[in-house]
Structures are given as structure tokens and as C-alpha cells.
Structure 1
Amino acid sequence: MKKELVIEWKHIGEEIEKTREEFEETGMTLSAVLAEIRMLLEMEGVSVRMVETVLPDDAPAGSESLLFNGVPVENLLEGVEATATSCSCASCDTCETCGEEETECRTLRYDGEAYEDIPPELIGRAAARALEME
């Protein structure tokens, strides 16, 4: 039976121009990592599929999350924690992104650093870990 790796990328930004530009960075990073690993995985009998889910603009806390075969990246990798931090997107003065005065956005903490965009090495490691779990 052929294995499959499904990576779901959740983000807000359907109606908000600035947010869509900012989230493109994660999308480009994800596409680049997939381009690197897709051929190797397919040679091993693993098909790779990416699903993009655009969340409502009023849901910044669930945005910028990656799920690997349904499992969030922070549940796959030791030392990675999903936290909520004050929104620091470029469009935020009083958070024009979601219309809130103070909004908390999803951030990953790893190795003492906070990341709004998911680093490439975490994407690759999470993909490998998700396949090991099957």
C-alpha cells in the first residue's frame, strides 16, 4: 500500500491584502521544502499532497498552522510549542488585519526563538516524523 503525506496549511487572509502578502512567505517556504523532498519521498513510495485552508479573517489564533497527516507540527516535534503572542503583523496598528484592538496571533517557539513563519527545517523534520508514525 502506498503511503501518503498530506500537509495542510491553515491561514487567514482571504479578504485582507496585507495579510495575504505576509502569509505568502510561509507558502513559499512550504512550496520550496516540498519541491526538495517530494521527489525523494515519491521514490520511496510516498505521495505528497498539500492542502491550503483559508480561515475566516477573524481567526488569527488558528492561522499559520501546519498539519502533517492531520497532526499539528508542534505535536510532532519535541521542543516545539504553539503559543499566542501579540499580533505584530505589518498591517497592525490597532490590528487592521482582524479589526481588533489587541489580537493574539499564533507563534511557534523553538530553541528559545519565536517564529511567526514556520522555519524550513521544522517543516522537513515534521514531514519525516509524520511518516515515521504510520
Structure 2
Amino acid sequence: MKNELVIEWRHVARDAENVFETCKETGMPLDAVLDEIRMLLEMEGVSVRIVETVGEPETLLFNGAPIEELLEGVEVTATACASCASCGESCGDDCEDEECRTLRYNGEAYEAIPPELIGRAAAKALEID
């Protein structure tokens, strides 16, 4: 097992205070999942750190690896930003040519990354079985 977990949350935003709705939906479960596992990991000697990168398409990297590379069966697709209800409302015409990342897993499409996948990817990045 590795002794450090670095999660980089990349997301689109006008600035750090104005995160788009879909990206906020990932950030909230990310905080909740980390609150749940941080104490357990620290008891095992694993430090947990989050890095937030604004201005990138939304994704999560776990010790440098994207979630779709860590978890079998997770695929990345893209939808036009204007067709994404939460992004369309947030950024309007500012993102006409932009695409939003969507994860597909077990036949479901997710604009925001579900907490279950966040926890599983963290465990995989730490090489926890």
C-alpha cells in the first residue's frame, strides 16, 4: 500500500469562486468521501491531499491516474456543453464550443462523479485490495 493519496480535481470555472453546477456536484461528494476515509487512511499512515485545478475539463486524478484508467468498466464520453443543463445554465454562451465529460459505468451516465467511484478509485490508487 502506498503512503500518500493525492487527488487532483480538475474542473471548469470562470474562477475559483464560480464553479459550474456539475463540477460542484463532484466536489461535494469528493469532500464527503474524503471526510469518511481520511481518518481511516491517516490511522494507516496514509496522508491525503487534494489539489484543485481550475480551467481544465472536469476529471479526478488519483496519484496522477485518471479515474477511468483505475476502474475497469468506466468509460469517458463527451456531451456538448450547451446540452448539459447545469453547465448550460451556468456558463451560457461562454462555452458554446466546449464539451462536458460524462462517465459511463454499468449502463449509467454520470455528469458528476458518484461517491462510490471516488472511493473505489482512491483504494485502487493506493493499491488497497
| TM-score bracket for this pair, using the shorter chain length | 0.7 to 0.9
Give structure 1 stretches of 5+ with no counterpart: 56-61
1:121 aligns with 2:116: yes
Indicate conservation of the 8 Å contact 1:5/1:48, yes or no: yes
1:131 deviates by 0.5
1:90 aligns with 2:86: yes
User: 3-state SS of the aligned residue for 2:20?
Assistant: helix
Give structure 2 stretches of 5+ with no counterpart: none
Distance in 2 separating the partners of 1:49 and 1:7: 6
- Normalised by the size of structure 2, how large is the TM-score? 0.84
Aligned residue pairs: how many? 124
Listed as ranges, the matches of 1:71-110 within 5 Å are 71-87=65-81, 88-92=84-88, 96=92, 98-100=94-96, 103-110=98-105
Q: Residue in 1 aligned with 2:61?
A: 67
Q: Deviations over 1:63-83 (max 9, x none)?
A: 220000000000000000111
- Normalised by the size of structure 1, how large is the TM-score? 0.81
Q: Residue in 1 aligned with 2:31?
A: 31
Identity %, equivalent residues: 66
Distance in 2 separating the partners of 1:10 and 1:39: 24
Q: Residue in 1 aligned with 2:40?
A: 40
Letter in 2 for 1:128: A
Q: Between Structure 1 and Structure 2, which shows a larger proportion of helix residues?
A: 2
**Residue 32 to residue 14, structure 1, CA distance change in 2 (3 Å):** same
CA RMSD across the alignment: 2.4
Letter in 2 for 1:99: C
Distance in 2 separating the partners of 1:17 and 1:91: 15
User: 3-state SS of the aligned residue for 1:105?
Assistant: strand
1:91 deviates by 4.9
